[in-house]
Each structure stands twice: as C-alpha cells, then as structure tokens.
C-alpha cells in the first residue's frame, strides 16, 4: 500500500492561572499525548509570564516526541475579561494584567496560530465537546475552586455577551447582607460557596473555639488545608466541617436554580476543585436544593452533573478551540 502523505496534526490546550500554567498536547481525536506545568510567577510581569507560557508549550510538545511543525494551533484559557477577536486580556486581576496582547505575543514567540478565551468558557467548551460529545444544544458550566466561574454554551458556541464578559456567575448576589466579596459587593455566590469562602468560615470557627478534627490532622493554624482534607474530616464525622460544606452546597443549589430559570439549559455541569474533592458530599444537596427552587417545569429535560474531566477540562477546551480555529 502507498504511504499516506497526510501529516499528523496536533493541537495544544493551555490553562493559564494565577499560580500555575498547564499545557497539554492532543491529537485530532483529542487524545492527550503529553503535558507540562510551570508556576506562573505573575509578580515578574506580563512579558515574563508569556515567556513561561511559551516554554511550557515547548516542554509539552517535547514530551510527546513530535515535531512542532505539526502543531496546527494553540488554544489558551486566561482568567478575566478577554477580547476574543484580538486575543487581548483586557483585565485579569489574579495576574495584575490590563490590556495584554497575549495572542500576538505568543504567536511571535511560537510561530503558531493562537486563540485566546476566558478560562471557564474553555472549561465549559471542553465538557461540552469532549465529555458530552457535543450532544446538548445548551450547557451551563459552573466551576467551584478558589473562586467561582462559569461558562455558557448556546447552540454549541461559547456565549460571551456584548463585552465578552458573560459567565461571571461567581458575582451573582445571593445574600445582600452576606460576607464581603473580593469584587467589592456583599453576598456574592463566590463569597458564600467557593473554597476560599469555606476555608474562611472554618478558620473563623476554629478561632472562635469550635472543635474540628482538622486541627488534629493539620495543626491549629490549618496552614496546609486542602479541599481533600474537608472530605477526610467529613468521613471522620466532623460536624463543623460537614455543616459549613453543606451550607455552601445549599448556596450552590440556589445559584443553579436561578441560572436555570434564566438560561433553561439542557445540562448544568459542575466542576472545579470543590466538586472534584467533594462530589459525593455536595452533589445530592446541590441537586435537591436546585429542584426545590427552580421554576415549575424548567427542571424537566435539564440534567445536573458533576464533570469528570477535572483539571483537563480547560486543556481539552483549549484544544477544541485551536482545532476550530484551524479549520
């Protein structure tokens, strides 16, 4: 048989965060071939971070033993407000970036087409295209970690709104007299149900003299507390941690119901570190509370799921974006 002249095609997904940069190399069937991680070091400035992104991509490609000439495109998810057309990061507070030409700078360094999108939008795209095989028309992604972000898919396409800022669901106000949020408002979803919010409540309770097995596990200062520790505490019948986690799950359920009322999606997919660590502890409560608060009739036909992609959701979404760009 004659050899095929078709060159293999590869796509790179990048997840840029305030603490780490991750890059994954995928083939045309979205099989992950290799990956690399770097610390972000945003205090060094935008130029240094962009150089680190380029190095991370190069390391991921090198890990796969493939030629960089066969990389057709790179899709990168960045936190904050993105101008998708120009690929500029207009505002990313976790990076202290304002109006950074990420696409242009990376294309100059790597000589490969680059597409830039909000990180949660890309995670939602990864869930939609890969995990759910593009079957639902409309999907809402909610990602609970250090903060809370969202991604909206309408008719199979990322919905960014008029200023490309749609999906900032972490800043829906759920409790007007609630705790202060980093955005300046009170009672935002993020200030009530993120990992940061849960940890703050635990720290305050311990300072107030309440008992938790976490102090036996980690010491009184709880400085090494992680999401997985919450699961271990609950399984050791820690009533304080269970109560705080369940309250966060109830807030999440009410937020899900409100968003279902507005968007009427086919699927609500929840992800992020909190869901990854505490899926069995929080998902039943989230679904129950959402069902109790959604408008009659709107729950029918809508599925609420926990995504199984974990940290790979954003990388896969980046690869999907890169391939769409390359077509």
CATH of the domain at 220: 3.30.420.40
Burial of 183 (0-12, 13-18, 19+ CB in 10 A): middle
Domain count, the chain: 2
Q: Do residue 255 and residue 166 come from a single domain?
A: yes
> Angle, to 10 degrees, between the axis of helix 312-326 and the axis of helix 119-126?
90
Is there a domain that residue 3 lies in?
no
305, 282 in Cβ contact below 8 A? no
Q: Do residue 23 and residue 154 come from a single domain?
A: no
Q: Do residue 108 and residue 150 come from a single domain?
A: no
In the predicted model, residues of the chain with pLDDT beneath 70 are 1-5
Burial of 238 (0-12, 13-18, 19+ CB in 10 A): buried
* Cα separation values, 26 from 12, 80, 229, 306, Å: 6, 25, 32, 23
Is there a domain that residue 4 lies in?
no
191, 181 in Cβ contact below 8 A? yes
Domain that holds residue 40: 10-127+312-326
240 strand-pairing partners: none
Looking at residue 5, its pLDDT comes to 53
Q: Do residue 253 and residue 195 come from a single domain?
A: yes
Q: Do residue 111 and residue 152 come from a single domain?
A: no
Give the tens place of pLDDT for each residue, 40-82: 999 999 999 999 999 999 999 999 999 999 999 999 999 888 9
Is there a domain that residue 214 lies in?
yes
Looking at residue 1, its pLDDT comes to 44
Burial of 67 (0-12, 13-18, 19+ CB in 10 A): exposed
Q: What is the pTM of this model?
A: 0.91
Is there a domain that residue 2 lies in?
no
Burial of 8 (0-12, 13-18, 19+ CB in 10 A): exposed
Looking at residue 2, its pLDDT comes to 47
Q: Do residue 162 and residue 276 come from a single domain?
A: yes
Is there a domain that residue 87 lies in?
yes
């Amino acid at each position: 048989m004659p050899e095929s002249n078709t060159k293999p095609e590869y796509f790179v997904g990048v997840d840029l965060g305030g603490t780490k940069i991750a890059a994954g190399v995928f083939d045309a069937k979205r099989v992950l071939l290799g990956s690399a991680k770097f610390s972000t070091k945003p205090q060094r400035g935008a130029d240094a971070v962009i150089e680190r992104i380029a190095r991370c991509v190069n390391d991921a490609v090198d890990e796969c033993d493939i030629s960089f000439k066969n990389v057709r495109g790179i899709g990168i998810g960045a936190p904050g407000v993105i101008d998708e057309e120009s690929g500029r990061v207009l505002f990313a507070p976790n990076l202290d970036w304002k109006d950074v030409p990420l696409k242009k700078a990376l294309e100059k360094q790597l000589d490969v087409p680059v597409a830039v999108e909000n990180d949660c939008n890309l995670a939602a795209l990864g869930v939609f295209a890969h995990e759910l095989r593009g079957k639902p028309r409309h999907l809402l992604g909610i990602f609970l970690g250090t903060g809370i972000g969202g991604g909206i898919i309408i008719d199979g396409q990322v919905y960014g709104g008029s200023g490309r800022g749609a999906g900032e669901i972490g800043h829906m106000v759920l409790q007007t007299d609630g705790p202060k949020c980093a955005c300046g408002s009170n009672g935002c979803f993020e200030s009530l149900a993120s990992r940061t919010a849960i940890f703050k409540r635990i720290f305050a309770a311990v300072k107030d003299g309440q008992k938790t097995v976490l102090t036996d596990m980690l010491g009184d200062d709880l400085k090494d507390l992680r999401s997985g520790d919450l699961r271990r505490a609950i399984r050791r019948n820690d009533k304080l941690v269970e109560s705080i986690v369940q309250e966060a799950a109830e807030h999440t359920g009410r937020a899900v119901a409100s968003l279902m009322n507005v968007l009427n999606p086919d699927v609500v997919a929840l992800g992020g570190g909190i869901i990854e660590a505490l899926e069995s502890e929080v998902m039943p409560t989230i679904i129950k509370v959402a069902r109790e608060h959604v408008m009659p009739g709107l729950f029918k036909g809508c599925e609420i799921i926990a995504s199984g992609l974990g940290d790979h959701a954003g990388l896969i979404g980046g690869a999907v974006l890169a391939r769409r760009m390359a077509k």
